Structure 1
């Protein structure tokens, strides 16, 4: 997964968390936070892969 897709997952997660808070839906809030964390992890992995690629390994 690329950095752009990971960022999109983070944004989607933030939106879910916000909507969950506005509607008092704790499950949706938790799901949103989880998606944000997943997106951040994927973004970090994509950045690391990019650095390795640039270093020629």
Structure 2
């Protein structure tokens, strides 16, 4: 690989690491909200707020 490819790979690796941390943090928040208030977003306002944030951030 050339220098340009190494730079791109390094940048992508850093971006993927940030996404991975964000996704795992949100996943933990979702699990905690479900344990605390139940699985239905209509009755669990904390879960509904987290799911809205997930939609805005385009998290899978």
Q: TM-score, normalised by structure 2?
A: 0.53
In structure 2, the gaps of 5 or more residues are 38-43, 45-60
Aligned residues: 36
Higher-Rg structure is 2
TM-fit CA distance, 1:40? 0.4
Q: Which one of the candidate residues 18, 34, 37 is aligned to 1:53?
A: 34
Greater helix percent: which structure?
1
Q: Kindly report structure 1 stretches of 4+ aligned residues shifted beyond 4 Å.
A: none
TM-score (ref. length: structure 1):
0.56
User: Over aligned residue pairs, what C-alpha RMSD do you find?
Assistant: 1.9
